[in-house]
Amino acid sequence: MPITQFVVDAFTDRPFAGNPAAVVITDGPLDAVGMQALAAENNIAETAYLHPIDGGWSLRWMTPTVEVDLCGHATLASAHVLFTERGEDAEELRFSTRSGWLTARRRADGTIALDLPTDPPSAHEPLPGLVDALGIEPVSVLRGRDIWLLEVASATDVLSADPTTARCASSRCTGRSSPPPPRVTRGRTVRPSTSCRGSSPPAPASTKTP
């Protein structure tokens, strides 16, 4: 099966800036092993995989090492490619994902509005070693489904933080529990300021086979 891949730099208007995501479009599902291998070869934050299904598009996201439940900028990149490179004329795109159905709506001013799952945090005891790993003294610690939030007293505390990657890893900062299904909130709008590499301009789309 031929694979068409774009690299989209989200949140910027020039190539090689912003937040990059690869967008792979196929006619049907790919083997998960091959998807992960391509994501590892791309070696950027996320590779998004799209193929058409009844009612919309299947959308999956993979980092170079694992599949993830949600990626906002890769969803924006996927909508951008479908609208601008694939000529989708619908005002709203629907994506079936591990986080449920998501939508991307094209607005008259050229922005794209995404409906993404919420992840409301609540007070929580920090993981052992987390505070030391980040090098800050929080006022409060909160945890959502996928994130930790540490509130500090001032911006100065943020600027003076000295996070240590190795200590973060040892404190299991990325651990998660089994959460309830996410809720979806409407109205989050992001601007599709994107530079699409892999299509002209500046370069033609690249095609890869697994």
Residues labelled catalytic = 46
| Tokens 């922005």 found at | 111
Asked if residues 115 and 121 have their Cβ atoms less than 8 Å apart, the reply is: no
Exposed e or buried b for every residue in 167-205, given b needs 16+ CB within 10 A? ebeebebeeeeeeeebeeeeeeebebbbbbbbbeeeeeb
Measured CA to CA, the distance from residue 3 to residue 46 in angstroms comes to: 17
Residue 12: CB atoms within 10 A of its CB come to 15
Residue type, position 169, single letter: A
